[in-house]
Amino acid sequence: MYRHKAAALACVAALLCAAACRQDMHNQPRYKPLASTDFFDDGRSARPAIDDTVARGQLHLDDARYTGKENGKDIDFLPIQMTRADLTRGQQRFNIFCSPCHGRLGDGHGMIVSRGLRQPPSYHDPRLVGAPIGHFFDVMTNGYGAMYSYASRVPVDDRWRIAAYIRALQLSQNATPELARQNSTAAAGAAPGGQQ
């Protein structure tokens, strides 16, 4: 009987030990966010970034791609590769983020405008047809007049995809009959059975 008691006690002690070890791991020494400390001279536990360090994926050396400008001027070329899939994504992003005001055709007749919000200019206005593509990137990045910035919602490369899609919209809405004929002949030639 006595031996059983001793064994039971040993078991409980072992269990308590194990629990204590786990507890140690749970209560590691740490600071709550922005708590003060006397360990560093400036009294802050949150350390400022060391000068000239760059977080992974944040080294934006390519001005054209990240600002849409070179030497302070809007660029007139696409700084990223644009495949058919990119353009389709641009169309999708445009329809989500821009069409409520600018309309699916980019003519400024979006649904929100019909409910009384300020009407944006048409992308088919000669001024915007002639504007360098960097201008569209710039408007999305920094906002323009009454339009607010989309930088926090549309990532950099998606902004280029949207800009490229706006160019496609401009082309489609101003296409000459010759251009349409050329393209349909090319498409018919390329498609299987297109010659019938």
Q: Does 144 bind ligand HEC (CB under 6 A)?
A: yes
CB-CB contact of 173 with 105 (8 Å): yes
β-strands 69-70, 73-74 pairing: antiparallel
Instruction: List the interface residues with ligand HEC, window 65-104 (CB under 6 A).
Output: 97-98, 100-102
- DSSP states along 15-38: HHHHHHHHHHHHT-----TT-B-S
Whole-number minimum distance, CB 99 to ligand HEC, in Å?
8
Letter for the amino acid at 5? K
Nearer to ligand HEC, 45 or 142 (CB): 142
Site string for ligand HEC, 112-141 (x = CB under 6 A): x----xx-xx--------------x--xx-
Site string for ligand HEC, 6-45 (x = CB under 6 A): ----------------------------------------
Whole-number minimum distance, CB 119 to ligand HEC, in Å?
7
- DSSP states along 82-125: --HHHHHHHHHHHHHHTHHHH-TTSSS--HHHHTTPPPPPPTTS
Query: Which secondary structure element, helix H or strand E, spans residue 139, and what is its range?
Result: helix 133-142
Interaction site with ligand HEC (CB under 6 A): 97-98, 100-102, 112, 117-118, 120-121, 136, 139-140, 144-147, 150, 154, 162
